[in-house]
Chain A
Amino acid sequence: MQLAPRAAVGEFRERIRWMGAIALVILGLLAARMFYLQVVRSDAYAHMAEENILRRIFLPSTRGRIFDTRGRVIAENRPSYNVYVVPLYFMRRFDETFPRLSTFLGLSREQRDRLEARLREAADGQRRFQQVLVREDITRETLAILETHRDEIPGVSVIAVPVRTYPFGALAAHAIGFLNEVSADDIREHPDEDYRAGDRIGRSGLERAWESFLRGRRGWVRVDRDHRGVILSSRDEIARFGPDRRQEPVPGRDLVLTLDMELMRAIERAFQQRQFRAGAAAVVDVHSGRVLALYSRPSIDPNLVSTGMSQQTARSIDENIDRPGIDRVIYETYFPGSTVKPFTALAALRAQLVDPTARIRCTGNVEIARRPWHCAHGHVHGLVDLHQAIVQSCNIYFFRLAEIMSLDLIARMASEYGLGQRTGIRINSESAGLVPTRAWYQQHFRQQRVGYRLNSAVGQGNTRITVLQLAMAYAALANGGTLYVPQLVERLQSPDGTVLQSFGATVRHRIDVPPADLVRVTDALRGVVTDRLGTAHEATDISEVELAGKTGTAQVSRVARHGEDPRYAYFMGRDHAWFAAFAPFDRPEIAVVVLVEHGGSGGDEAAPVAASLVRDYFTRIRPGEPIPTVRAAREVQQQQRPIVRRRRTRRGR
């Protein structure tokens, strides 16, 4: 064998020393890295390690229920079984788990593709640890399938989530509102309120306005999990977890409203009987501003919205020409027509510009400022004083009155009664409407015309009001001049029924009108119903309660579109029918406003609806002892049909 001299190794020695040095440096770097991980960054990694095994599961709070004033349930919650996926665990074996899950859920091809895209997106981002809502409100059968096969679809969980239901459906839906899923914007805009993707948020009506009270606060529990997301903690353990592992949810507050759903039903029936397509009604308590009914027709069933409606349903709602989404009580504005005449009269009386006994001859038309002005539908009223001008709704009288009044005089009285101003109900982006003044015309038309005054006096021209405004104004007529803020929520309760907060009446202001003037005008309002010549006399067959009110027939200015169905164009061109009233006359309790869109004559169409709901209210719905007139009417009936009637009455109570 060849002997290698030791010197030959010497060639390597220096290199070997270098190698040792290099090795030490590299191992030193590894040691430094270890120090960095285990000392410098240890808190962060310890936190991540904990997050790995302790997953926070949210315990949903129960949204507060909504009751009407008589304790009827308007909105409550039922369990909905929702399927969630944690992308991180689910995507690991996506090719196996995804088809399985799709089959279990019975997804269509289109739904599968959409879901896949969503999951892939979620798996890339920061939310890969968070549950993604995959499907809502699955059936019991699907639930059973998922439970059986839970081991085959890691990362999938089913959570019972309360879903909102509205037993009255579309009735009062505008006022109650609805919920839907929070958007990214919502979450950004309310950083302190802990909204998370998948949460529901009140979108309109009371659900939105009282969101913070209704919602409650979610709780959470931190449970042990393994790498697949399988929960290792037992049920007993979870129940026992202390405050650092578990926080109980706080349920939302219950709302008790001033609304009376039985009255709402009565209104609905009255509209249905007369087959009105669209309209609105409001009923308020004249002594407190409590809102007993807010009715807007047509309406949308909020149950469809909260459970997710089909695209077809959504489209049919969007394309409905009657625009069911519009709140006709609070949001939509209308010409008030003759319903403002009492206020015009009060303005003239207070300014002492008119002798109420003086009579004017109505020939059906008059020329003022070189233009002809008419009474509605060619009526000729003959000699009328102020009383008869209101009873018969004589435009000519009010045109002559307006001639001697300034526009601002008319506008001021209307404004004092709250017309053209927001009532302050604070739901559904309330419209202010408009009671035009001289300044307004100056700004918008750069001129003043006599016609502006004449139109304002009879609620046409540029005057726009909401149904609710008019109801509050008539309540103020009835109660002697107190304008209230409409009150919709009576009290807040905890889920066990403990009253947490009660709300009372809020006075906006007192209207300074001489009582004699008020008596004169309200007397005329009674005449509208009771006087043989009254515009609402014929159509309001009501004996139980004495009603006082004013009809209105608001002209609609509308240009038919080219190629439009002529029947539709005719309908849309018809006048809006109004009736604004209070009852009973001698001791007023409620003010009622009924609007029938394109109903035609207020006296013929709107007044009967008002009369029927007032009758329903006082004979059937109103709590407490019946008012004297109702009792008297019952006694008359009982005498006529003694035996049968007596029995029925007893049961009817």
Chain B
Amino acid sequence: MARSIQARLREEFDWPLFLVVTTLATVGVVNLYSATSAQGGVRGELYIQQIRWLALGSAVGVLAAVVDYKYLERYAYGIFVGSIVALVAVFLLGKSVRGTHRWIQIASFQFQPSEFVKITLVLALGRFLHRDARAERRKLRHLVVPAGMVAVPLLLIMAQPDLGTALIVGLVAVSVLALVRLERGSLVWLITTLVGGSYVAYTYVLKDYQQERLKSFLDPEKHKLDSAYQALQSMIAIGSGRITGQGFMQGTQNQRRFIPDPFTDFPLAVWAQEQGLLGCYAVLLLYAFLVLWALNIAGSARDRFGSALAVGMAALFFWHTVFNIGMVMGVLPVVGVTLPLFSYGGSSVLTMLIGVGLLMNISMRRHTFG
């Protein structure tokens, strides 16, 4: 407490986290530069826009890092409810893009509330776990409150509809809740209901085109022209990169525009063709380090809230990474999940950098008592 900010910065600043995130963001921008070069200059300025997002995200991230997270814990429910309100607002004032309601426009600034819900939900769950410390194993009824917290935004996002985000939100929430121990009977019940529930969700909740996507993933031969075509072109890009790649800005799949959506969903395909297996492994190692480092921060956090929050951020990076790379490599359905810090997009970049800020926050305060 007595130490100066500078001293604390010097001693407690999480350099590994900072470096891995900076490296990823830099590589992402470089890759975006190549990805946009193919559009005949039309989208050539996109990487500059991404840098602006990164700058803005860094500012917000610094903010998220410097304010002691005990205040976040205190106002977690409020923030959460605020984000839910924004989610509802999407339906009321949001603009419809291709039949989906995902965006809110404030002045010239568009954002997706569902992106931020990924964080606010973790805050809320973190607070719940923080206040609900128990020594014994929990029964299912102890999970009713957090389950409700998850269900509300989840249903709202699915109604937009935005399957990819819903998936991530759900997985992140499950990851955070996986921190607590359940009685064995309750666990069996939980798994049974989840499996049953996903079947019901698939049959009654998913829209036709969403079902198609899943089906096309399961039976790619029959759906060459749509999303499986995208996956195929992506796999061609990756496979043809071989070990060393075709060279920066030399990837034919991107230059000739065979890669669908090379900015947001498939930037790794561009990277893979141009940088090869070595480049891909480098990126994969960075993500692995980021996730493990975040879990490390969770393990050494000063309290349960910090720990849960760090696990939530680790899960956020992890599931985004896994789903995006899995999708790009044709092992998971194309559901539109971004690759953290690699994909173009303001909401995504902001969310990720806020996440990084929170991790920094927790990491820097692991030795202090509130």
A227 and B329 within 8 A (CB): no
Residue of B nearest to A48 (CB): B236
User: Contacts A1-B70, A3-B369, A16-B307 hold; do A52 and B238 have CB atoms under 8 A apart?
Assistant: no
How many chain A residues touch B (CB < 8 A): the figure is 48
Q: Using Cβ atoms and an 8 Å threshold, which residues of chain A touch B233?
A: 52
Q: Using Cβ atoms and an 8 Å threshold, which residues of chain B touch A46?
A: 239-240, 242
Q: Using Cβ atoms and an 8 Å threshold, which residues of chain A touch B305?
A: 4
The stretch that binds B, out of A28-36, A141-149, A244-252, A355-363, is A28-36
Q: Using Cβ atoms and an 8 Å threshold, which residues of chain A touch B295?
A: 16, 19-20, 23
Partner of A1, one of B253, B331, B370: B370
B156 CB → nearest A CB, Å: 27
Q: Using Cβ atoms and an 8 Å threshold, which residues of chain A touch B181?
A: 11, 15
Besides A4-B302, A49-B252, 12 more A-B contacts (Cβ < 8 Å) are A3-B369, A9-B301, A9-B303, A9-B306, A24-B292, A27-B287, A30-B329, A34-B238, A37-B239, A49-B240, A53-B252, A227-B258
Which A residues are closer than 8 A to B by beta carbons?
1-4, 6, 8-9, 11-13, 15-17, 19-20, 23-24, 26-27, 30-31, 33-35, 37-39, 41-42, 44-46, 48-50, 52-53, 88, 91-92, 123-124, 128, 224-227, 232
Partner of B311, one of A16, A53, A124: A16
Q: Using Cβ atoms and an 8 Å threshold, which residues of chain B touch A13?
A: 299
Q: Using Cβ atoms and an 8 Å threshold, which residues of chain A touch B314?
A: 19, 23
A4 and B304 within 8 A (CB): yes
Interface membership of B291, Cβ < 8 A: yes
A3 and B325 within 8 A (CB): no
Q: How far is the CA of A401 from the CA of B27 in the complex (A)?
A: 108
A24 and B288 within 8 A (CB): yes
Q: How far is the CA of A123 from the CA of B229 in the complex (A)?
A: 12
Interface membership of B175, Cβ < 8 A: yes
B158 CB → nearest A CB, Å: 24
Q: How far is the CA of A19 from the CA of B175 in the complex (A)?
A: 8
Q: How far is the CA of A27 from the CA of B252 in the complex (A)?
A: 27
A38 and B242 within 8 A (CB): yes
Partner of B304, one of A9, A38, A52, A92: A9
Interface membership of B200, Cβ < 8 A: no
A23 and B130 within 8 A (CB): no
295-332 of chain B: CB within 8 A of chain A: 295-296, 298-299, 301-308, 311, 314-315, 318, 321-322, 325-326, 329, 331
Q: How far is the CA of A313 from the CA of B235 in the complex (A)?
A: 52
A350 CB → nearest B CB, Å: 75
User: Contacts A38-B238, A39-B243 hold; do A8 and B322 have CB atoms under 8 A apart?
Assistant: no
A42 and B239 within 8 A (CB): yes
A27 and B175 within 8 A (CB): no
Q: How far is the CA of A27 from the CA of B258 in the complex (A)?
A: 27
A27 and B288 within 8 A (CB): yes
Q: How far is the CA of A217 from the CA of B71 in the complex (A)?
A: 80
Majority-rule SS of A interface residues: helix
Q: How far is the CA of A378 from the CA of B288 in the complex (A)?
A: 112
Majority-rule SS of B interface residues: helix
B256 and A227 within 8 A (CB): yes
327-358 of chain B: CB within 8 A of chain A: 329, 331
Partner of A30, one of B131, B242, B273, B322: B322
The stretch that binds A, out of B13-21, B29-37, B89-97, B276-284, is B276-284
Residue of A nearest to B240 (CB): A49
User: Contacts A19-B311, A34-B277 hold; do A49 and B236 have CB atoms under 8 A apart?
Assistant: yes
Interface membership of B5, Cβ < 8 A: no
Q: How far is the CA of A622 from the CA of B120 in the complex (A)?
A: 103
Interface membership of B179, Cβ < 8 A: yes
Q: How far is the CA of A23 from the CA of B180 in the complex (A)?
A: 18
Q: Using Cβ atoms and an 8 Å threshold, which residues of chain A touch B191?
A: none
B178 and A8 within 8 A (CB): no
A61 CB → nearest B CB, Å: 30
Q: How far is the CA of A88 from the CA of B329 in the complex (A)?
A: 22
Residue of B nearest to A28 (CB): B288
A571 CB → nearest B CB, Å: 61
Residue of B nearest to A34 (CB): B280
Residue of A nearest to B278 (CB): A38
Q: Using Cβ atoms and an 8 Å threshold, which residues of chain B touch A6?
A: 302-303
B246 CB → nearest A CB, Å: 9
B124 CB → nearest A CB, Å: 17
A12 and B304 within 8 A (CB): yes
Q: Using Cβ atoms and an 8 Å threshold, which residues of chain B touch A37?
A: 235, 238-239, 329
Interface membership of B139, Cβ < 8 A: no
Interface membership of B76, Cβ < 8 A: no
B181, B233, B242, B296 — most chain A CB neighbours (10 Å)? B242
Q: Using Cβ atoms and an 8 Å threshold, which residues of chain B touch A3?
A: 303, 369-370
A224 CB → nearest B CB, Å: 8
Interface membership of B225, Cβ < 8 A: yes
Residue of A nearest to B318 (CB): A23
User: Contacts A12-B298, A52-B253 hold; do A30 and B238 have CB atoms under 8 A apart?
Assistant: no
A–B Cβ pairs within 8 angstroms, 27 of them: A4-B133, A8-B133, A9-B306, A12-B179, A12-B304, A12-B308, A13-B299, A15-B179, A16-B179, A16-B307, A19-B311, A23-B291, A23-B292, A27-B284, A30-B325, A34-B238, A34-B280, A38-B239, A38-B276, A38-B280, A42-B239, A42-B240, A45-B235, A45-B236, A49-B252, A52-B236, A53-B258
A9 and B307 within 8 A (CB): yes
A52 and B256 within 8 A (CB): yes
B307 and A12 within 8 A (CB): yes
Q: Using Cβ atoms and an 8 Å threshold, which residues of chain B touch A128?
A: 224-225
User: Contacts A4-B305, A88-B225 hold; do A45 and B238 have CB atoms under 8 A apart?
Assistant: yes
Q: How far is the CA of A8 from the CA of B179 in the complex (A)?
A: 12
